[in-house]
């Protein structure tokens, strides 16, 4: 029995791109002790594949983290299967705010050491001892208190295009960098109320527990993250404290939560919040690029990459073999505009 994808990714992407079938994008997570992650992974793949699920799922001893899309016509069948798993029975499913059905084009289920890489090796740390969960109304109320500290537990490229009012947005590339940094930043404010948020809630489960472990007295987290917050404010007519877009880790790259554009094109500086990957697949840098710069630079991050994409495919393949690109994500705090930075291209 084959329990992995065997079709070319390019073909799969074209298939989804041309499909008119309605699909529903969903994310969910659960911290739970899974005794045999490989077996659980194979079981999931068998049933998810049969249900035509696409997306990315991580399984570890500590639980499951999933971002997927399901054919809408099979959504109830999917829920029936998912809820038949005892520790996932009744789990909250975060439904996408903006959904074109093109979020994923293949199914990948992987076994990992952790579902969220945190870099924490301390055996005394208990990630289940998390902070108080807040709904959207409670979040709005507590963050109206000037004494409350709001912390964005996402990476810099996520918060750059959208974040909550008055939030601290650490300039980091990874969650493992962020945990000790936030503790250090707030070390003199351990008696203040601290509210943490992320995309769907999974990172804040650990982050809030981490702050409590380090002596913070009053720690809260936004239940369901930005995705659930956006849903609740729409359904209940609540004031929206989120400015800009919510970055998502699929083909869409972002969902609009408010109409404000708070970011800027990394090449010309104009107001823009559209993330793209450099058209040079050997570079693949994630950065913000406006429409004008996309046309001017042929969807590339630099003049060097513009040169590479003019080469014959065989020459590009050879170049990709010999050029390891270290910087995969544009860092707003550590390097200048992408048009002024590049990796040297040689033929």
- CA-nearest of 5, 116, 108, 115 to 56 is 108
Helix 175-185 / helix 202-213 crossing angle, nearest 10 deg = 40
Kindly tell me the sign of the dihedral angle through the C-alpha atoms of 152, 154, 156, 162: negative
DSSP state of 211: H
| Cα separation, 20 vs 170, whole angstroms | 40
Q: What are phi and psi of 26, to 5 degrees?
A: -135, 145
Strands 254-256 and 193-197: unpaired
> What is the DSSP annotation of 191-226?
TSEEEEE-SSSHHHHHHHHHHHHTT-SEEEEETTHH
Q: Residue 290 catalytic? A: no
| Cα separation, 68 vs 57, whole angstroms | 8
Could you tell me if 231 and 97 are in contact, meaning their C-beta atoms sit under 8 angstroms apart? yes
SS3 state at 189: coil
| Cα separation, 287 vs 156, whole angstroms | 11
Residue 285: both structure tokens together: 């840098």
> Which residue in the list 198, 272, 293, 301 is annotated as catalytic?
198
DSSP state of 73: G
With 0-12 CB in 10 A as exposed, 13-18 as middle and 19+ as buried, what is 17? exposed
| Cα separation, 217 vs 283, whole angstroms | 44
Q: How many residues does the chain have?
A: 347
Residue 246: both structure tokens together: 């919510």
Residues marked active site are found at: 198
């Amino acid at each position: 029995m084959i329990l992995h994808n065997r079709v070319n990714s390019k073909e799969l992407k074209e298939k989804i791109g041309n499909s008119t079938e309605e699909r529903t994008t969903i994310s969910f997570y659960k911290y739970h002790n899974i005794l045999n992650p490989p077996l659980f992974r194979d079981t999931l793949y068998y049933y998810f594949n049969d249900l035509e699920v696409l997306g990315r799922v991580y399984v570890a001893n500590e639980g499951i983290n999933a971002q997927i899309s399901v054919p809408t016509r099979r959504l109830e069948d999917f829920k029936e299967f998912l809820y038949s798993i005892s520790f996932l029975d009744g789990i909250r499913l975060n439904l996408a705010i903006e959904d074109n059905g093109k979020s994923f084009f293949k199914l990948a289920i992987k076994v990992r050491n952790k579902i969220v890489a945190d870099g924490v090796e301390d055996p005394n740390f208990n990630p289940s001892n998390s902070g108080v969960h807040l709904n959207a109304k409670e979040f709005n109320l507590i963050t109206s208190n000037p004494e409350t500290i709001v912390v964005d537990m996402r990476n810099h490229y996520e918060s750059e295009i959208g974040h909550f009012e008055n939030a601290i947005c650490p300039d980091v590339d990874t969650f493992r960098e962020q945990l000790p940094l936030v503790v250090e930043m707030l070390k003199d404010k351990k008696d203040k109320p601290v509210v943490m948020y992320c995309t769907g809630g999974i990172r804040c489960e650990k982050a809030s527990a981490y702050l409590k472990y380090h002596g913070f007295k009053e720690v809260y987290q936004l239940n369901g993250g930005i995705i659930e917050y956006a849903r609740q404010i729409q359904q209940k007519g609540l004031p929206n404290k989120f400015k800009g877009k919510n970055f998502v880790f699929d083909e869409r790259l972002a969902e609009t939560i408010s109409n404000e554009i708070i970011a800027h094109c990394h090449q010309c500086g104009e107001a823009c919040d559209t993330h793209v990957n450099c058209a040079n697949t050997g570079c693949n840098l994630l950065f913000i690029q406006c429409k004008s710069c996309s046309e001017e630079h042929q969807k590339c991050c630099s003049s060097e990459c513009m040169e590479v994409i003019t080469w014959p495919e065989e020459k590009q393949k050879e170049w990709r073999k010999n050029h390891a690109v270290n910087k995969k994500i544009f860092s707003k705090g550590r390097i200048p505009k992408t048009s002024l930075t590049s990796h040297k291209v040689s033929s």
